[in-house]
Amino acid sequence: MNKKTVRDVDLQNKRVLLRADYNVPVQNGVITDDYRIKQSLPTVQYILEQPGTSLVIISHLGRPEGHPDKENSLEPAAEALGELLGKPVRLVPDCVGDAVKQATGELKPGEVLLLENLRFHSEEEANSSDFAKAIIEAAGAQIFVQDGFGVVHRAHASTDAIAKLLPSVAGLLLEKEVEAIAGAMQDPTKPLMTIVGGAKITDKIDILNRFIDIADCVAIGGAMANNFLAAEGIKVGKSLVEQEALEMTQEVMQKAKQTETKRPFSFLVPVDVVVSGKMDGTAPTRVIDLSNHALADIEAYPKKPEPSAFEIGDGEMILDIGPVSAGIIAGAVKMSKTVIWNGAMGVTETKGLAGAHNPFAYGTRVIVDAMIGTSRQHQNRPFTLVGGGDTVGYVEQEGLVEEFSHVSTGGGASLELMAGRSLPGVEVLEDK
């Protein structure tokens, strides 16, 4: 991290404008996951500890169409932040204009204001310099702190234009995120293993190529793995496949095979899968052995198994990796010193019926246990970095955030950083 942070500048008696990422899930006005808000607290508290300093926070929520709507109001975030800080956090009903000027004019040292959703104005995503000036003027801001890691891969008014108009530095969360992710990518303790899941290969093609370059082992899971199976000529039934990306998938596989001939490297694609006729968990599941058909042979003995025993039916879809694949990946995890995990192995959000375990979360759970150790006294735990919104959501839902070395708050931003791309919202900050 070669950018100045809040620790490198004098904040005393200043009005600080903080860009946080409070884009959190809200249902019926209630936040269902406050991880991003909690992760912003060290920066918020550090700023408020400086004598005479007052704080104005800006953020976005959801994807409003450039105009106010109640569903995407930051009011729940203001309430949650106030509870976490133990002091009132007032929400101002806009982020520019006279109402903001009046509210910030009354702001005393040690007090916090949260301005309403930036994306209620289309100028935010258009990276409008005039909009950035209007925010600064309304807030009375003297210094800008960028701490919204989840948005720094975008050049918006609150990540780019605003930082060109004020002295601008990084917050503590942004510093922590960049150092953890860049460190794991550029100077990991070896062996380095990367586990990549999720739905679309097109979203992750760049990090897959980068991982093949730098990792000792790359394991593939989630719906993305269907593309690799289809590219190998395996029938995948009605599984999700990105047909337009099959050629791209074959190129990745070719690169992986070439890497395996040049140095010690493993590229793991599922050898068995869990299939079902429905994704909602209401239909039976079965394990299909795609490689040597050992499961089918054992179950059918002494008869020869029917082809249907080891082939995915036209009406079935792959919804998780199988137990053998999970065991292979877990074994590789145990041999690694650094593990980067992005994307679940199956449809972990499908709930089990009648008290049964979630039917498509077994693969993910086996691998998580290998990463963090089921005993919690695992002496050889690797350094574990978790990135990607859905993966982080799963880790939080299971109450395991503290068990991992670093759980990122940024989905797209962490992918961009892993792929080796520069982040506009970081590049624009002042150098050390």
Which of 95-104, 392-401, 415-424 is modeled with the greatest confidence? 95-104
- The alpha carbon torsion through 312, 317, 321, 323 (nearest 10 deg) reads -60
Q: What value does the mean pLDDT take over residues 48-53?
A: 97
Could you give the dihedral angle defined by the CA atoms of residues 369, 372, 378 and 380, in that order, rounded to the nearest 10 degrees? 110
Greatest Cα-to-Cα distance within the chain, rounded to the nearest angstrom: 84
Quote the mean pLDDT of the chain: 92
pLDDT score, position 379: 63
414 touches 181 (CB < 8 A):
yes
The predicted model gives 143-150 an average pLDDT of 97
Q: What is the pLDDT of residue 354?
A: 77
Local structure of residue 120 (DSSP, 8 states): G
Percent of the chain past pLDDT 70, that is, above it, reads 98
Displacement of CA 232 from its chain's centroid (Å) = 29
For 28-138, strand residue ranges (E) read 30-31, 54-58, 89-92, 112-115
Percent of the chain predicted with pLDDT > 90: 73
Is residue 365 over pLDDT 80? Answer: yes
311-348: burial string, b at 16+ Cβ within 10 Å, e else? bbeeebbbbbbbebbbbbbbebbbebebbbbbbbbbbb
Question: Residue 88 pLDDT more than 80?
Answer: yes
**Average pLDDT for residues 199-211, to the nearest whole number?**
89
Reading the block at residue 280, the tokens are: 């909602």
* Gap between the Cα atoms of 240 and 221, Å rounded: 13
Handedness of CA 289, 291, 295, 300 (dihedral sign): positive
Residues 277-330 have pLDDT tens digits of 999 989 999 999 988 788 888 888 999 888 888 889 999 999 999 999 999 999
- Which residues are designated catalytic? 36, 200, 389, 412
Beta partners for 244? none
So what's the pLDDT on residue 374? 57
Position 257 scores a pLDDT of 96
Strands of 112-115's sheet in order across:
89-92, 112-115, 54-58, 15-19, 143-146, 168-170
Three-class SS state of 392: helix
Domains by residue range for the chain, with CATH: 6-174 (3.40.50.1260), 188-418 (3.40.50.1260)
pLDDT at 397 over 80: yes
- The predicted pLDDT at position 376 comes to 54
**pLDDT attached to residue 377:** 58
Strand order in 192-196's β-sheet?
Answer: 266-268, 217-220, 192-196, 338-342, 383-387, 406-407
